[in-house]
Chains A and B, each alone.
Chain A
Amino acid sequence: MEETKKEQTTTHKIGIYLWIWGILFVLSFCSYMVDWFQFQGLLRWSLILTFMFLKAGLIMAFFMHLFWERYALVNVLLWPMTAIACFVFLMVAEFKYTLFSRLFYFFIGG
């Protein structure tokens, strides 16, 4: 099905792209600083995850225009991500179990 309309599509002001661009730079700099200052433990991974999801969200929402798309498209794209979250959850359980078995049988000696 070919689009028949050839009129100019509405675009957004350049300012919004420059703002998002700037914020992405700041967020990347912040996540680099996490490594620079060698934060460890809970602080480290919570900061990494926060900056990562903020960056991913900004790119998808504004650079990929999802913020302006209709819900029909947005929901088709975002709901499958819950399957990935489930998979992560399952595999976390799996790697803990594998690590336990390895430590138990290889090092302690079952």
Chain B
Amino acid sequence: MSDPKIEGYDFKPGFRGLAQDAGSDQTMFKGVHWGKAMMWIFLLSDTFIFSCFLISYMKGRGSTPAEWPNPSEVFALHVGGVSVPLLLIAIMTFVLITSSGTMALAVKYGYERNRKMCGWLILATALGGLTFVGMQAFEWSKLIHEGVRPWTNPFGAPQFGSFFFMITGFHGTHVSIGVIFLSIYAYKTFAGHYDTGKRGWFTTIKGDYVEIEILGLYWHFVDLVWVFIFAFFYLW
């Protein structure tokens, strides 16, 4: 999505281009907005944090001699007297993917300077995120009600609770922060800050639709992390 057009600079593709960009005695990420590069660096560090959580979960689960609770039973939902395994988690996954899709479209419409469409799609994304956090709150309260604590639980290995609350809690915090920012950016989009180039609150830099893409990167990352949590914590 970079816009590789710089006067007097000949862009080469692939690894040749990588060597040329890195050794050009100029900015390395050519045509990439600095905010976008910074967001990527932040997401990289966040990747390491979540990896540490998931790796410690792997180590905790792998090294306990006690039976690990069966997630497919622990997270089952009773619908009309029938126990459906992982139902809530599956719905949460689909909600988050849907919100990721609307975000991707919001970025596209933003760059096409379609203000209304972009704003509505960001709002839809925020609603999806809110739904996700709501369902997570429901899941947490259900498990707490059943007696799951960070130090004990009625299903098996006591480590289960601490990993569950830590990992899903940290992810839920990311989603909540994302929802707050999505709401702010939805307002800014509708108010036309990115069309008129109005500057933000703590900066002299003028508003531009690239900010929507930066926000989108964060939101897709939240979805990305959920893909891993879903696979390792709920399915494994």
On A, residues with C-beta under 8 Å from B are 1-3, 5-6, 8-12, 14, 17-18, 20-21, 24-25, 28, 31-32, 34-36, 38, 45, 48-49, 51-52, 55-56, 59-60, 62-65, 68-73, 75-77, 80-81, 84, 87-88, 91-92, 94-96, 98-99, 102-103, 106-107
Does B227 have its Cβ within 8 Å of any Cβ on chain A?
yes
**Contact between chains at A99 and B63 (CB < 8 Å):** yes
Q: Are B58 and A95 in contact (CB under 8 A)?
A: yes
B152 at the interface (CB under 8 A from A): no
Instruction: Give the interface size bracket for B toward A.
Output: 35 or more
Residues of A with C-beta under 8 A to B151: none
Closest residue of chain B to A7 (Cβ to Cβ) is B3
Q: B21-51: which have CB < 8 Å to A?
A: 21-22, 27-34, 37, 40, 44, 47-48, 51
A18 to B100, CA, bound (A): 11
Q: Which residues of A contact B111 (CB under 8 A)?
A: 8-11
Least CB distance from B58 to A in Å reads 6
B interface residues (Cβ-Cβ under 8 A, vs A): 1-5, 11, 13-15, 17-18, 21-22, 27-34, 37, 40, 44, 47-48, 51, 55-56, 58-65, 72, 85-86, 90, 93-94, 97-98, 100-101, 103-105, 108, 111-113, 197, 205-206, 208-210, 213, 216-217, 220-221, 223-224, 227-228, 230-231, 234-236
- The docked-state distance in angstroms from the alpha carbon of A94 to that of B37 is 35
Contact assessment for B230 and A72 in the assembled complex, using a CB-CB cutoff below 8 Å: no
Tell me, in angstroms, the Cα distance from A8 to B5 when the chains sit together. Answer: 13
Complex CA gap A49/B91 in Å reads 20
Interface of A is mostly: helix
A103 shortest CB reach to chain B, Å? 6
Q: By the criterion CB–CB under 8 Å, are A35 and B72 in contact?
A: yes
User: CB distance B1 to A106 under 8 Å?
Assistant: no
Contact B29 A70, beta carbon cutoff 8 Å: yes
A73 near B205: Cβ-Cβ < 8 Å = no
Contact check, B58 vs A56: say whether CB atoms are below 8 A apart.
Answer: no
Residues of A with C-beta under 8 A to B104: 17, 20-21, 62-63
Q: A64-B217, A84-B55 are in contact. List 16 more A-B contacts (CB 8 A).
A: A20-B104, A24-B101, A28-B93, A34-B235, A35-B235, A36-B85, A52-B227, A64-B221, A70-B29, A70-B32, A71-B17, A72-B17, A91-B55, A95-B62, A98-B63, A102-B65
Chain A hits for B210, CB < 8 A: 3, 9
25 contacts between A and B (CB under 8 A): A2-B206, A3-B33, A6-B197, A17-B105, A17-B108, A25-B94, A28-B230, A31-B235, A32-B86, A32-B93, A34-B235, A51-B231, A52-B230, A55-B227, A59-B227, A63-B216, A64-B216, A64-B224, A65-B1, A65-B213, A72-B22, A84-B47, A99-B63, A102-B64, A107-B65
